[in-house]
Structure 1
C-alpha cells in the first residue's frame, strides 16, 4: 500500500487542486493512504507575547482545520479516504518530519508557477527534497 502526503497551502489553490488530481489518479491504480497536511507558520515573538500560548495554538490549529476543508472536499467528492493533520512550524522541516512520521513514500505538491521567492530561494518542494535527500525518504513530486 502506498502512503502519500499532500501539503496544503490555501494561498495556492491551483497547486492543491493539481496535487489532489494526481492523488485521485494514483488511488484508482492501487491502494493508497492519503494524508493531508497544513503547516501553520510560527508566530513572531512580538505577536505571540500578546496572546495566551494555549489560546494561540488553539487558534492556529482551528484555522488549519478550516484550510484543509477545501482539499478534503475534493477527496470526498472523488470517494478517496484521507486523514488531515495540522502542525505549527517551519514548512519544509515540518513537511519532511510528517512524511517520515507517516511513513510516506511520496509527497505530492502539485504543479504551479514559482513566484519570485521560489525562483530566488528555491520552491518549498525543492527545500523538502534537500532535507530528505539521500536518506531513502519519500519521493517529492511537484514544483
Structure 2
C-alpha cells in the first residue's frame, strides 16, 4: 500500500507547498499521509536537568504542537493522516521513519533545499541514506 511521509519543519511557504502536494497526492490516489516532526537531540548535560521520561514528554508535546497547523489543514481537506514525533538527527530520522512506516514517498519540497552547505540539501541527504533500499521517492 502506498503511503506518504511529510516531515514538517515550520509553517512557512515551504511547508504550505509540501502540504498542498500531499493533499493533491491524497486526492489522486487516496493514500494515507504521515506527518512527521523531528525533534532535536539534546546533550547529556541538558538531559541531566530532567527527570526520567520528562524530556521525552516535552519533546513529544513540542512535536505535536509543531504538527497541529498541518494536522488541522489535512483534517479540513479530508485527508487521512497520522501524527508521528521522533527525536534524532533530521535526515537520518526522516529516512529511518520512512522505512519503518513503509512509505513510498517523502515530500520535502523546497524545504529539502534549505540545508545546503557541505552536507548537501536535506533532500540529498535523505536520498543518500535511502540509496540501495527499496524504492522511496523523495519529492
- Give the TM-score, by structure 2 length: 0.91
CA distance in 1 between partners of 2:45 and 2:116 (Å): 27
Preserved contact between residue 112 and residue 122 of structure 2 (Cα < 8 Å)? no
Q: How many residues of Structure 1 are paired with residues of Structure 2 in the alignment?
A: 139
Aligned equivalent of 1:106 = 105
Deviation at 1:113, TM superposition (A): 8.3
Give me the CA root mean square deviation. 1.6
Instruction: Give the match's secondary structure for 2:61.
Output: helix
1:92 aligns with 2:52: no
Instruction: Give the match's secondary structure for 2:32.
Output: strand
Deviation at 1:132, TM superposition (A): 0.2
Preserved contact between residue 35 and residue 82 of structure 1 (Cα < 8 Å)? yes
Deviation at 1:134, TM superposition (A): 2.5
CA distance in 2 between partners of 1:55 and 1:23 (Å): 33
Which sections of structure 1, spanning at least 5 residues, go unmatched?
Answer: none
1:31-70 equivalent positions in 2, closer than 5 A: 31-70=30-69
CA distance in 1 between partners of 2:42 and 2:63 (Å): 14
Aligned equivalent of 1:75 = 74
1:118 aligns with 2:103: no
- Runs of at least 4 residues off by over 6 Å: none
- Larger strand fraction of residues: 1
